[in-house]
Amino acid sequence: MDRWAVPHSLNDSRPRKTLAGRTPRLGVLHVASEVAPWSKTGGLADVASALPSALESLGHRVTTVLPLHRGSDFPEGERRPLTLTFGSRTWHGALQIVSLSPSRRVVGVDMPEWFDRDGLYAIGGTDYADNAERFAGLAHAALDFAQQDLDGGRIDIVHAHDWQAGLVPSLIRQQPARWTRVARAGLVLTIHNLAFQGLFPKEVIDRLGLSWDLFTMDVGEFWGHLSYLKCGVASADVVTTVSPSYAIETTQAELGFGFDGVLRGLSDRYVGILNGIDTSVWDPASDPQLPAHYSSEDLAGKRVTKRVLLETFGLPVGDDAIDRPVIGIVSRLVEQKGFDVVLAAADTLMELDATWVVVGSGDAEYERGFQALARRFPSRMAVRIGFDEGLAHLVEGGADLFLMPSRFEPCGLNQMYSLRYGTVPVVRAVGGLDDTVRQYGPRAKRANGFKFKDATPEALVGTLRQALRVYRRADRWADLVRAGMKADHSWAPSAREYVKVYRRARHEAAQRWAE
C-alpha cells in the first residue's frame, strides 16, 4: 500500500489560503508522557520530540506538555506554581516553561509526588498503583496550563499521545466551559501501541472526580474497567496510529486487542501515518556516538565502527571476525518483539556464520535466555542488559544486519535507523516493519532488506540464511546497503500528513459545535 496512505477524504480539507495568500499557521498543544531527550522508554519519546520539531519547520507553533520524570535534566525555564484540584485532593507543584525557539516550547510538569520515581510507569515489572491519578494529573496540568497561557497564542489543535494522555480530549469534551481556550480545538489522539490501554478499576472515577459519563461502552468502559485510551479514542475528532499497516491490523481481531470494533467504527477518522526518524540525531555522517563517520558514498567508517563495536562487546576482532556478518538487536526484550522465536531457534542460529550483539532489557525470561546463550557461545554472541542510548547508536553503526522479529510492531524506529546506517534490516512483515522494509530479490528494484511472514523458527532461520547468502555477494549487498541509506525517512513528509489530519480535526470540531 501507499507509504503515506491517508484516506482520500482527508485531502478534501485542504488548508485554506488567507487573504494574504498564506496558509494560516496552526497552534498545536501536544501532551505526552515521555519526550526525548528528557525521558524515554520507547518510540513514543522519539515521536513526541521529533514531530513538534518537524511541525515547527513547517511554520506551526507547537507546545509540548510532559511530566518531569526523575533525572529528566530539563532546561531551566520560567517557573509557574501549579495547583491542581480534582477528586477530593489538591496537589501543589510547578510548571517549567522553556522556549526552544520563538515557535516551539516545552512545558515540564514538576510534580515530584507523581513523577520523581525510578520508573516512568512501573517498577520491577509492576505498574504503579496510582497511575490513574498520575496521568489524570498530567491531563489536568496540561489543560490548566492551556487555560492560563494567555500569551501563548491561539490553540487550534490538542494532540494527545497514548493512554497516558487519553483523558485530555475527554475532559475537554466534558467541560468545555472550564477549558474555554481549547474547547473548540480539533482533538487528535495518536495510538503508539494498542497493547497499552490504561485500564483501571471503575472506583477511580469517583476518586479522581471523573464523570460517570465516561463509563459507557461508547466512551471509556472496557470490560468493566475504565480505559484511558478508549476515553481518548472516543473523544478525539481524529485518531491516528503510527503506520498505515498497523492502522489496518488494529481494526482486525488478531491485533486489535479488543479495540478492533471501536477502531473500525471510526472509519476514515482513523488514519495511519508512518513515523519519521530524527535525521539530525541519527546520521552516520555526524553521529557523535560513532567512532568514525561514513555515508553511502564512502562506507570506510562503517568498518571502523564494526571493529569498535566488536571490541566494546569483548568479541574477537581478527580479520575473520571483521569479515563475518554482525547481526544486531536493540530492543525492549518483551513478548511483542518476538524473541521467544529467536530463543526457540537458538541452537540453529548459533550455527550460522554470524556474530550477534544484543542490547536490551525487559522480561527476565528473555534477559536470561540471551545471557545464557552468550555464556554458551562467548565468541558468537555478546549481550548487554540495560537501556543504553550510546550502545544503541554503536550497534546501528557497526552491525551488518539488524533483526526485528516482532509479533506486532506499530511502526518500529530501529529498522529505519538501520536503513540510514547501512545496516540491512531483517524483520517480520508486520505493521510499520512491513511498510518500510522491501524484500530482497535478484530482480527486486527497490529492495532494502529481508522479511518473513510466519512467527516461526523455520521462517526466521530461512530468511536469515538468505540474508547471509546475499551478504557474501559483495556487489548485491552494497546495492542493498546503499538503497537503504539513500531513502528519505525524515519527518517532513509525515509532519505534512499530520497537518492534513489537524485540518480534518478542526473541521470535525467545527461540525460538533454546529450541531
Given the rule CB under 6 A, which residues bind ligand ADP? 42-43, 46, 330-332, 359-361, 387-389, 392, 411-414
Q: What kind and span of H or E run contains 402?
A: strand 401-404
- Least distance to ligand ADP from the beta carbon of 358, Å? 9
Cβ proximity to ligand ADP: between 142 and 359 the closer is 359
Cβ proximity to ligand ADP: between 401 and 509 the closer is 401
What is the radius of gyration, based on Cα positions, of the chain? 23
Report which residue's Cβ sits closest to ligand ADP. Answer: 43
CB 489 within 8 A of CB 419: yes
The span from the CA of 170 to the CA of 5, in Å, is 28
The span from the CA of 78 to the CA of 167, in Å, is 26
Sheet with strand 199-201: strands edge to edge:
199-201, 225-227, 221-222
Q: Which three cell numbers stand for residue 32?
A: 505526552
The alpha helices in 377-455, defined as continuous H runs, are 389-398, 414-420, 431-436
Cβ proximity to ligand ADP: between 195 and 299 the closer is 195
- Least distance to ligand ADP from the beta carbon of 394, Å? 10
Q: What kind and span of H or E run contains 45?
A: helix 43-57
Look up cell 534490516; give the residue.
Answer: 425
The span from the CA of 288 to the CA of 313, in Å, is 19
Cβ proximity to ligand ADP: between 110 and 162 the closer is 162
- Least distance to ligand ADP from the beta carbon of 176, Å? 33
- Least distance to ligand ADP from the beta carbon of 455, Å? 16
- Least distance to ligand ADP from the beta carbon of 36, Å? 8
- Least distance to ligand ADP from the beta carbon of 387, Å? 4
Q: Which three cell numbers stand for residue 67?
A: 511530566
CB 135 within 8 A of CB 211: no
Cβ proximity to ligand ADP: between 101 and 280 the closer is 280
Cβ proximity to ligand ADP: between 42 and 77 the closer is 42
Instruction: List the one residue out of 57, 154, 147 whose CA is nearest residue 495.
Output: 57
What residues pair up with 240 in beta bridges, in sequence order? 190, 271
- Least distance to ligand ADP from the beta carbon of 400, Å? 17
Cβ proximity to ligand ADP: between 23 and 279 the closer is 279
Cβ proximity to ligand ADP: between 251 and 406 the closer is 406
What is the residue type of 131? N
The span from the CA of 448 to the CA of 439, in Å, is 7
- Least distance to ligand ADP from the beta carbon of 242, Å? 8
- Least distance to ligand ADP from the beta carbon of 248, Å? 18
Cβ proximity to ligand ADP: between 359 and 419 the closer is 359
The contacts of residue 161 (CB under 8 Å, 6+ apart) are 30, 31, 32, 33, 44, 47, 48, 189, 190, 192
The span from the CA of 242 to the CA of 432, in Å, is 7
